[in-house]
Structure 1
Amino acid sequence: MMDLKDLLLTPIYLIMIYAIAYASRNKFTTPKTKKYFIPALTVKIFGAIALGLVYQFYYHGGDTFRFFIESEKIYNPLLDSPKIGIKLLLATGEFDPETYQYASTMRWYTAQNNQLIVKACAFFSLFCFRTYAVIAIIFASICFTGVWALYTTLLKIFPKYYNQLAVGVFFVPSAFFWASGIMKDTVCLAMLGWAFWAFYQGFVEKKNILLSILVLSLALFIIKVVKIYILLCFVPAAGLWIFMENSKRIKSKALRLIATPLLIAIGLVGGYFGSTYLTSDDDKYSVDNIAETAAVTSDYLDRRTDKIAGTGRRTGSSYNVGKLDGSTASMIAAAPQAIFVSLYRPFLFEVRNPVMLLSALESTWFLWITLMMIRKKGLTKIIQLITKTPLLTFCLVFSLMFALGVGLTSGNFGTLVRYKTPMLPFFVSMLLLLRAYSKIPKSKNSGRVLASKYQVRG
């Protein structure tokens, strides 16, 4: 898919992107964060190009190229008949006499989650002579703006830990590889970053409320179109966060002790009903149908057993979290395995290919950090710190819900590693902050355990 045109044009566009980055760096950085601005952009661009190369020479095709190929069916009309091309860009799956000859040939015309990526490719093609690598680095650059917004927001809460947060947000290999190129995960991660930035600014800091609501609404709308199940995780966690923030503003300890459980319950219930409303028009990922979706996925993978070998086992990199029958009870029973699979597997001995090795090394690192924290500080103190720190509570709730969802519905490590990438900056940042806490000597536990705006005390 990448050819001579990519080799000739990509360097030119890279020079343009880096020129913009260097010119704007001082505006969006501080003396401490400035050193990460260009490296963070670079790993996103590297990930976008590496993804294309892996899909071309290792997988010999895949979704990233399908999006690009499909976009030609919008790009050509944009050049030949702009009116029809614009209609196709704005279409939401309906058929029109003027656009039918093009729309009827589109594989994903009625699948708006995929079609959004196709439309973006077609639009960007207008400015880069329809060059795959250039479009990929444009996707990466847009995603970079979202993750930088996420990073700077986290630093407002934990200003001392800019190194740890940089690692968690920018430099986790799976995140900058799978969520940098022409992929749905790239868009979702970018929008999550902007949603997090807008939510914190508007509802926690209560500044620039109108702008924050506009950015949050746009980001959540795009996430809803592309991967609606992410809202099932973000909205309840955000609702819980805001109510925990409000409980901290109650000065009376006695009143706070009484009000906190009530506020948490209200936050969770409000988040649940918010998620129910946002996903009500999606039959597959609505709150009521998520258990059935997981069961259908599990049954499909069960039928894809290794019939040639006659082993009756799932093929390739598939995994099993237990029997799912579409009931809530079966989903709850499978939840611990699904969460563990998402966060800490595959193990190194489960590796079946070079790409899977990357995920296995990461998951081993995550597991090691978790076990070391528990060994040094104990599970009880770790939980106490999380529950006293609204941001850490948000990260934990979001990560657990996300891990449960993708763990139940992915079915194999190949798709799991891609699906979980939007979760990784939140989960890894939480791990690294907690590891920083675990390294603090016991003699200092009576003081601030994490230098944050929350001034959490042990």
Structure 2
Amino acid sequence: MELKDLILTPLYLGIFYGIAFAVRKRFTNALTKKYFIPALSVKFLGAISLGLIYQFYYGGGDTFNYYMHVKIIYQAFIESPTAGIKLIFAKAEYDPDTVKYSAQMYWYNAATEYFVARVGGFCALLCFGTYTIVGLFFAVISFSGMWAMFLTFMRVYPLAYKKLAIAVFFLPSVFFWGSGLMKDSLCMGALGWTFYGFYHFLIVRKNMPTALIMGSIGIYVLISVKIYILLSFMPPALLWVFNENNQRIKSAALRVLLKPLFLIMGLGAGFLGATNLAAGDEKYDVEKIGERTKINQEYLTKYAANGSAYNIGTFDGSPSSIVTVAPQAIVVALYRPFLFEVRNPVMLLSGLEATLFIYLTITLFYRTGFFKSLQLIAARPILTFCFLFSLIFAIAVGVNSGNFGTLVRYKIPLMPFYLSALYIMQSMAQPQRKTKPALRPQLNNARKLGRLATTE
């Protein structure tokens, strides 16, 4: 960070907040309005804190590696606008106009990392190449998708709107790791828009042009940056679509007969889509993913610092061995580190969140009953989707990470979905409190609440 960060950041924060207050009415309603500015604020806090932690605690890291590329792109634009534009938009290949700059970037031929640099380079043109402000732009991108995620959850189950806001916006790990100049910020925004697109285009069929465009952009970004998020998302999402359509069949007997077919079709379509997306990919082709998983886990465990490594058992990289360690991977991703395993401040945040997940999961299943909870999950497609996505993603990151330092970053996409599902179940399982109609009549009526949960 430099002097210009201190000078320009307050100015740009004022601009961002001015725009946010101007558009808030368009994108909020009676229930969501009060969360818009606080949710954006914690994203800004996360972006700024990320830079400070990496500079003064870690002494460098990925965010500054990205910024080095961003600075080169910005410098290229200052010296030659044509070269700068090519570095942002053209294919990453040899070009006489850009070779002077591309030779300085060791991620120039790394497609996923350079995609982040491209986005950062474009943002840098709007803020004089200032690190903190580029981070704020990434926070805005992330916030836009997560607001779309929140509105989608609100539309599905508005009765839990307060707790859904906590699940989506106010988990410390999510707004810290998912806000600054990092891959994770783009992925959180893209995942939110993909979630919004699936629900509005394929299930409720409202706002379909916006859903199609923004959902497609979200899918494109996930493919470009972290395709494994999309691979984990697709099977549960397509199953969700089929389950919703199954519930629209009026005949109960026909629903029972067709449900297995919808389940098979959903999982089958998801598997085919996932395998076709990853076909030929060096890292994520299904024929190679087991081998890559084993290599990643061994590497990250070997180089884990500060005693943060964990061991979920031995596996040889084959799909069958991944299935064997899947239960341990789920426990690691959702419920660890335990508080007694904490070794540093960053792990403490993750440990507190894991403890919250443990507490809510145990109390919910205990009070509701284990089998009744499973019936509730199976009966509500949104719950089936959220838990399936969370479990699939937990296996993926739990097996791949090998240490809590990387796991805390890898697992943030599943955290809003898992916690939202727990809060929705909690709201469905407990009897609604009776309040005086004169005070808050809209909060006792799910139909009225549903109307308030939309902004169309």
- The two structures share one fold, judged by TM-score above 0.5: yes
1:298–1:324: 8 Å Cα contact kept in structure 2? Answer: no
C-alpha displacement of 1:304: 4.7
With over 3 angstroms needed to count, the CA separation of the structure-2 counterparts of 1:304 and 1:126, relative to structure 1, is closer
SS in 2 for 1:58: helix
Residue 80 of structure 2 corresponds to which residue in structure 1?
Answer: 81
CA distance in 2, matches of 1:12, 1:300: 43
Counterpart of 2:46 in structure 1 is: 47
CA 1:173–1:9 in structure 2 vs 1: closer, same or farther (change >3 Å)?
same
Of 351, 365, 386, which aligns to 1:360? 351
**Once the two structures are superposed, what CA deviation does each residue of 1:6-30 show, in whole Å capped at 9, x if it has no partner?**
1111110111111111111111111
Residues 71 and 119 in structure 1, CA contact (< 8 A), matched pair in contact too = yes
Q: Give me the whole-angstrom Cα distance separating, in 1, the residues matched to 2:16 and 2:301.
A: 46
TM-score (norm 2): 0.92
Match of 1:421 in 2: 412
Cross-structure match for 1:233: 232
AA of the residue aligned to 1:180: S
Q: Deviations over 1:48-67 (max 9, x none)?
A: 11111111110011111111
Q: TM-score by structure 1 length?
A: 0.92
Query: Counterpart of 1:161 in 2: which secondary structure?
Result: helix
- Following superposition, the deviation at residue 205 of structure 1 comes to 1.3
1:433 aligned partner: 424
Q: How much does 1:155 deviate?
A: 0.8
1:432 Cα offset (Å): 1.4
Which amino acid is the alignment partner of residue 283 of structure 1? E
Structure 1 residue 109 displacement after superposition: 0.6
Q: Does 1:403 align with 2:394?
A: yes
Q: Distance in 1 between matches of 2:446 and 2:357?
A: 23
Shift of 1:286: 2.0
Aligned partner of 1:193 in structure 2 is: 192
Aligned residue pairs: how many? 440
The CA distance in 2 between the partners of 1:25 and 1:239, in whole Å, is: 32
Tell me, in whole angstroms, the C-alpha distance in 1 between the residues paired with 2:141 and 2:265: 35
Q: How many Å separate the matches in 2 of 1:370 and 1:5?
A: 46
What is the CA-CA distance between 1:367 and the residue it aligns to?
0.3
Paired letter, 2:144: T
C-alpha deviations, 1:381-402, integer Å up to 9, x for none?
A: 1111111111111111111111
**Structure 2: runs of 5+ lacking an equivalent:** 433-444, 451-456
1:451 Cα deviation from its structure 2 partner: 5.2
**1:23/1:210 Cα in 2 relative to 1: closer, same or farther (>3 Å)?**
closer
Q: Secondary structure at the match of 1:277?
A: helix
Distance 2:278 2:205 in 1: 27
Task: Answer whether contact 2:301 2:309 (CA < 8 A) is retained.
Answer: no
* Whole-angstrom CA distance in 1 between matches of 2:176 and 2:9: 18
Residue 326 to residue 315, structure 1, CA distance change in 2 (3 Å)? farther
- Identity score, percent: 49
Superposed displacement of residue 210, structure 1 = 4.0
Amino acid at match of 2:60: G
1:332 pairs with 2:331: no
Q: Deviations over 1:386-444 (max 9, x none)?
A: 11111111111111111110101011101110011122111111111122234338xxx
Q: 1:186 to 1:432 in 2, by over 3 A?
A: same
CA distance in 2, matches of 1:320, 1:433: 32
The 1-side partners of 2:111 and 2:405 are apart by 23
Question: Is residue 2:375 matched to residue 1:384?
Answer: yes
How has the CA–CA distance of structure 1 residues 256 and 219 changed in structure 2, closer, same or farther, with 3 Å as cutoff?
same
The answer on whether the counterparts of 1:158 and 1:452 sit within 8 Å (CA) in structure 2 is no
In structure 2, the residue corresponding to 1:426 is in which secondary structure?
helix
Residues in 1 aligned to 2:415 and 2:17: alpha-carbon distance in whole angstroms: 26
Q: Using a 3 Å threshold, how does the CA distance of structure 1 residues 326 and 104 change in structure 2: closer, same or farther? A: same
- Is 1:169 the counterpart of 2:203 in the alignment? no
Question: How is 1:16-35 mapped onto 2 (pairs within 5 angstroms)?
Answer: 16-35=15-34
Aligned-partner residue type, residue 343 of structure 2? R
Q: Is the 8 A contact 1:356 1:413 kept in 2?
A: yes
Shift of 1:301: 4.5
Change (3 A) 1:129 1:336: same
1:223-272 CA-partner distances (Å, limit 9, x unpaired)? 00100101111111111001001111111111110100111110001001
Q: Is the 8 A contact 2:301 2:310 kept in 1?
A: no
Shift of 1:303: 4.7
User: Quick one: distance in 2 between partners of 1:209 and 1:10?
Assistant: 37
AA at the equivalent of 2:307: G
Aligned with 2:249: secondary structure? coil
Matched, 1:136 2:131: no
Q: Deviations over 1:117-143 (max 9, x none)?
A: 111221111111211111111111121
Unmatched 5+ residue regions in structure 1? Answer: 306-313, 442-449
Deviation sequence 1:77-128 (CA, Å, 0-9, x none): 1111111211111233322232222212211011111111111221111111
Kindly provide the amino acid, as one letter, of the partner of residue 430 in structure 1.
A
Map of 2:439 onto structure 1: none
